[in-house]
């Protein structure tokens, strides 16, 4: 029997809730979404975005994620909205990540779910909402 097969549905939901949904629990919490604009070959061993957006992209800030836990199927949806005032200069978005810190830092950032995205242009004329759906499997 592998270790994964003994994890109950309640255990799977607890993992998701501890990491994302329950802000009352102290410790590491993945609470923020970040966007990146790296061009070129993605490094699958990376521990951060290839090139996170920054001030030069026009008032860029990481955003709070909104977690929605679904205990029936052991999933959680994580959504983040970058409004019209967040990234006001035309920027090609190519990656998204979930992170523990509200601001970029070379120390203290712990990343989860780094993902390449289809190229999307973000500027001050529109909001951008990104939703990631995660499932804990056996």
Query: According to the model, what pLDDT value does residue 3 have?
Result: 44
Using CA atoms, how far residue 24 sits from 29, 34, 103, in Å, is 10, 23, 21
Quote the pTM value.
Answer: 0.82
Structural domains of the chain, count: 1
More confident: 73 or 105: 73
Residue 5, pLDDT > 50, answer no
Query: According to the model, what pLDDT value does residue 27 have?
Result: 55
- Could you list the residue range(s) of the whole structural domain that residue 62 is in? 3-135
Mean pLDDT of the chain: 82
Query: According to the model, what pLDDT value does residue 81 have?
Result: 97
Range with the lowest mean pLDDT among 60-74, 80-94, 114-128? 60-74
């Amino acid at each position: 029997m592998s270790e994964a097969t003994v994890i109950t549905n309640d255990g799977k939901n607890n993992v998701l809730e501890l990491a994302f949904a329950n802000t009352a629990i102290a410790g590491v919490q993945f609470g923020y979404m970040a966007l990146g604009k790296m061009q070129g070959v993605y490094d699958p061993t990376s521990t951060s975005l290839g090139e996170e957006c920054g001030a030069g992209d026009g008032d860029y800030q990481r955003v709070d994620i909104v977690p929605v836990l679904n205990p029936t199927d052991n999933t959680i949806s994580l959504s983040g909205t970058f409004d019209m005032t967040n990234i006001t200069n035309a920027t090609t978005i190519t990656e998204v990540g979930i992170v523990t810190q509200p601001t970029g830092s070379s120390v203290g950032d712990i990343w989860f779910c780094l993902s390449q995205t289809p190229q999307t242009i973000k500027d001050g004329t529109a909001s951008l909402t990104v939703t990631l759906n995660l499932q804990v499997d056996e």
